[in-house]
Amino acid sequence: MDRCVVLVRHGQSEGNLKNVFTGWRDLGLTERGIAEARSVARRLQALDMRFDVAFTSELRRAWQSCSIILETMGQFDLRQCRGRALNERDYGDLTGLNKDEARTRWGDDQVQLWRRSYDVAPPGGESLKDTSARVLPFFIQSILPGVMRGERTLVVAHGNSLRTLVMILDRLSPEAVISVEIATGDIHLYRLAADTTVAHRQVSLASGET
């Protein structure tokens, strides 16, 4: 039985292009983002991947990427399930701010702490720990059962919601997850054993590295 779950970060969004904290702002893809989503599809086809179900967040940059990936793969009618739990972390007062401007205002170390730490939240926003509190139950209750039944599952989401899933699948500590970065268009493919542990892991980066 192929218990496969593939995690993909959406293509470049308008927020990524402008280097702002996007969070829950509902921005679409850039032309580069569309091309990145198509590249994801081609790389998945090169791995002989076909999917039985797809999950994505409720934010446009994620579900738009998911639709492009599936259309490029010829899986036009595949069931797509959107879940708010998979949304990007809420950056609170940082939302919409240019990241360089934020560093000037609060300092490099503080902004880096907000961006990469596990349990320190930006003002009015979510930490990665807070994000995990909604992502993990959704994964366990809504995604994992299908994977364990042999449904090949695609999850298209965001940098931080995916960091949460990588953390649980790779069994990373809160300290180790700080160094995890997932770029737009990156692919993390997992095949699970019967006890839900990872039997095989493969990463295909948008940069071309593996």
Dihedral class, residue 179 (left if φ above 0, else alpha if ψ from -120 to 50, else beta): alpha
- The strand pair at 153-157 and 198-204 is best described as unpaired
Q: DSSP secondary-structure letter at 176?
A: G
Phi and psi at 13, nearest 5°, equal: -100, 170
Contact by Cβ (8 Å): 198, 191: yes
Rounded CA-CA distance 140/83 in Å is 13
Edge-to-edge strands, sheet with 187-192: 80-82, 53-56, 153-157, 4-9, 187-192, 198-204
31, 36, 88, 188: which is the annotated catalytic residue? 88
User: Is 181 one of the annotated active-site residues of the chain?
Assistant: no
Question: Among 173, 94, 160, 169, which Cα is nearest to 130's?
Answer: 160
User: Is 10 one of the annotated active-site residues of the chain?
Assistant: yes
Which sequence positions are flagged as catalytic?
10, 88
